[in-house]
Amino acid sequence: MDYAGFNAVAILFWAAVLNGVLAPPLIVIVLLLTSNPAVIGSRSNPLWLAVLGWITVAVMTGASLAMFVTWK
C-alpha cells in the first residue's frame, strides 16, 4: 500500500472510526432479531442479555456522538 501512495496507518484509523460508528445500528439489528421468538424460535435472548445489549448500544452511541462533538 505504501508503494501505491496510501498511508496504511491512516487507513487503519479510518477503518476503526467507521467500525465504531456502524457498530451500534448493527447491534440493534442483531438484538431485534435475536430477541424475537418468531425469528429465532425457543433460543431467543433472555431479558438480562437483551438489557445488556441495549446498554451496549447506548454506550457505543454515546461514544460515537462524543467523538463527533469533540472532533477538531
Instruction: Answer whether residue 2 shows pLDDT above 90.
Output: no
Residue 32 and residue 16: Cα distance in Å, rounded?
25
End-to-end CA distance of the chain: 27
pLDDT in tens, 13-59: 999 999 999 999 999 999 999 999 999 999 999 999 999 999 999 99
The total number of structural domains that make up the chain: 1
Average pLDDT, the chain: 94
Q: What is the pLDDT of residue 40?
A: 92
Q: What is the pLDDT of residue 33?
A: 95
DSSP string computed for 21-51 = HHHHHHHHHHHHHHT-HHHHGGGPPPHHHHH
Report if residue 12 sits inside a domain. no
Report if residue 63 sits inside a domain. yes
Report if residue 2 sits inside a domain. no
Report if residue 15 sits inside a domain. no
Residue 30: count other Cβ atoms within 10 Å of its Cβ.
13
Instruction: Answer whether residue 70 shows pLDDT above 80.
Output: yes
* Residue-range definition of the domain harbouring residue 44: 21-70
Query: What does pTM read for this prediction?
Result: 0.84
Report if residue 50 sits inside a domain. yes
